Amino acid sequence: MLFFFFITRIVLLLVSWREAAPGLSDLAEVFSSGLLFDCGFIFYALSPLILYLWLLPQPVWRARRHGYWLHLLVFTGIYVSGFIGVAEYLFWDEFHTRFNFIAIDYLIYRREVTDNILQSYPVIPIISLLFFFSLAVYLPLRPWIARAQKSTESFALRSRWATICLILPVVSFFTLSQQLQQDVQNPYLRELAANGPYQFVAAFRNNELDYLQFYSHLTDGNADQLLREELAEPDAQFISNEPYDIRRDILPSGPEKKLNIILVTVESLSSDFLSYFGNHDGLTPNLDRLVQQSLFFSNFYATGTRTTRGLEAMTLSIPPTPGRSIIKRLGREKDQWSLGQVLNEKGYRSYFAYGGRGYFENMNSFFSANGYDIVDQSSTPDHEIEFTNAWGMSDADLYRQVLKTADRHSSEQPFFIHVMTTSNHRPYTYPDGHIDIPSGSGRKGAVKYTDYALGTFLDQAGSHPWFKDTLFVIVADHQAGSAGKTTLPIARYHIPLWIYAPTQIQPKIITSLASQIDLAPTLLGLLNMSYRSCFFGKDILHHPPERALIANYQNLGLFDGQQMAILEPQRKIELQAGLDSQRVTQFHATTESSLVRRDIAYYQGAAYVYRKRINSWANRDQLTTFTAAIEPSLLRVQQ
């Protein structure tokens, strides 16, 4: 097994050599740390076998039938080791990391993931080759296994050896820390220093990290004051002086607009697919044309690298708390302060429309518990679906369901439909005959089909009576890739955002720095709505935040356009400088830095609000109950 781990690390290093750019000292650190993690996993994995061999009576050990079992066990071990190596390579090819809790999700949602793998890779040839490879490794070992079965050892001698072997996993538990790999700065080298199966097991413990335990923090008074300064706006009034009570009444002047909203979240739509950002492949003619016809936000960033992080940020307007997305924290995803609930209080009906089956990633449970009706593949009649792949129906099929849902509403009740597409995802398959790139050819074809389907949808929507009173919002959930040479590579979080409503808004390029948590307040600002807010985001058009919050599952960043402060576990703090010049340097920092203190205020406040406040606020408060100074006739208060 140690041999397989070594070969896997060599292969992953070679395929990522340019990104890792290792020196001799880096290679020494990667392989020495990797050896420790490899041995640690082997100590754990062999513990049940050691117990078995220790306690097995000698006559049973020498029995012929037990010999068959030993041979099968050795062959299976070889095959499983090879299978893990191949799985690690395929996982690395897509995510540029060792196994993490994404891999755990892949086991939970077996149907989608199995179909995706079968459609993306030559599975049968791979399994067959693995079988013959394992057989070739196993056959020379047969005499060694037979000789071992003939050996005789006293129980006392076996006990001494078993005790030594069983102490090793205990020593590993207390001494082997993932901090060994976290000290490596380059993310590629850091992942190469890890062990895939060890990471996989560790991921079960890292679904949610306690902020105060793992991260640098300020006193509650300081963090609360800084957070209030960040969220303050001329038309916002805080309703309480209690620590971390960020509820405030948003009170713009003038009448509200009851426009429909169709928010299309496009799978993996990187900014660098667009000609506006320098792409010359012509993959997105419809979106490129839309840049000049919309409010186009050119300096907009995803908060994370997974779909659920994007949905979380746009729906809840909360910074990404460490661990997995709130959407996937079973039992704790309910009664959040969502954009859908705020709009429902204003007389809207909110929907979440997903191209796949919404049980995936716990999306149906999250959205239905937070004010949304569900439209997904499961609720769509089979005869209305032209094409499906591993992840669900094609984007064109999904958009037909969106049109159908919008048509059900009378002009008296506005609607909000949050759409999540699936076509721009491996295995990159889509209906034939629509674009000039064959289905299944790769990412470029999927991007071009995604653009085609979206352009067709907007053209079709133009013939419906509700079109003139609808805001079309188009945004990515995250970029197509997230790997880079720094802890949080800011360029890999850059995504586009359009707000298109030709009869309602004037086209303009918006260059203000913002991120996905700012989308909900911006949409409500466009509608000039008075509402009670528990959002961490700000209205980009009226009060530009000029900062972006981005993170992965454990590193928490605040980007101000030039520098980025990053909070890491073990209470480490990093500062990236030179991000505006592309000459990026990364160094340790302290809480003396004002950017670091702002960073802490956001994430410390988000952790507190999520764990102790948000559910009680959502259950107790009426979202549109304002201070007595507001004119009651302007409000629609839920009784």
Regions of the chain with pLDDT less than 50: 620, 622-639
Task: Determine the Cα–Cα distance for residues 615 and 610; give it in Å rounded to an integer.
Answer: 8
| pLDDT at residue 64 in the model | 83
Strands 548-551 and 260-266 come out as unpaired
**Is the Cβ–Cβ distance between 495 and 270 less than 8 Å?**
yes
Residue 514 is assigned to a structural domain of this protein:
yes
Question: Are both 238 and 110 inside the same structural domain?
Answer: no
| pLDDT at residue 634 in the model | 40
Question: Are both 293 and 186 inside the same structural domain?
Answer: no
| pLDDT at residue 204 in the model | 63
Question: Are both 171 and 259 inside the same structural domain?
Answer: no
| pLDDT at residue 203 in the model | 67
Classify residue 514 as left (phi > 0), alpha (psi -120 to 50) or beta. Answer: beta
Question: Are both 611 and 505 inside the same structural domain?
Answer: yes
Residue 441 is assigned to a structural domain of this protein:
no
Question: Are both 171 and 264 inside the same structural domain?
Answer: no
| pLDDT at residue 539 in the model | 97
Residue 398 is assigned to a structural domain of this protein:
yes
Q: Domain of 333: which CATH number?
A: 3.40.720.10
Question: Are both 140 and 258 inside the same structural domain?
Answer: no
Residues 114-140 have pLDDT tens digits of: 777 777 888 889 999 999 999 999 999
- Dihedral, CA atoms, 545, 294, 316, 572, nearest 10 degrees? -40
Residue 349 is assigned to a structural domain of this protein:
yes
Question: Are both 234 and 332 inside the same structural domain?
Answer: yes
| pLDDT at residue 523 in the model | 98
Question: Are both 234 and 192 inside the same structural domain?
Answer: no
Residue environment code for 455-484, b if the CB has 16+ CB neighbours within 10 A, otherwise e:
bbbbeebeeeebbeebbbbbbbbbbbbbbb
Residue 479 is assigned to a structural domain of this protein:
yes
The domain in which residue 148 lies consists of 2-203
Residue 446 is assigned to a structural domain of this protein:
no
| pLDDT at residue 614 in the model | 62
Strands 373-375 and 349-354 come out as parallel
Domain boundary among 178, 203, 228: 203
Question: Are both 172 and 288 inside the same structural domain?
Answer: no
Please give the tally of structural domains in the chain.
2
Question: Are both 526 and 478 inside the same structural domain?
Answer: yes
Question: Are both 229 and 111 inside the same structural domain?
Answer: no
Residue 60 is assigned to a structural domain of this protein:
yes
Residues 57-114 have pLDDT tens digits of: 877 878 888 888 889 989 998 999 999 889 888 888 877 788 876 676 666 555 666 7
| pLDDT at residue 583 in the model | 78
548 sits in which H/E element: strand 548-551
Task: Determine the Cα–Cα distance for residues 324 and 508; give it in Å rounded to an integer.
Answer: 36
Question: Are both 279 and 139 inside the same structural domain?
Answer: no
| pLDDT at residue 631 in the model | 42
Residue 621 is assigned to a structural domain of this protein:
yes
Neighbours of 222 (CB within 10 A): 15
Domain boundary among 147, 175, 203: 203
Please state the φ and ψ torsions of residue 479, each to the nearest 5 degrees. -75, 170
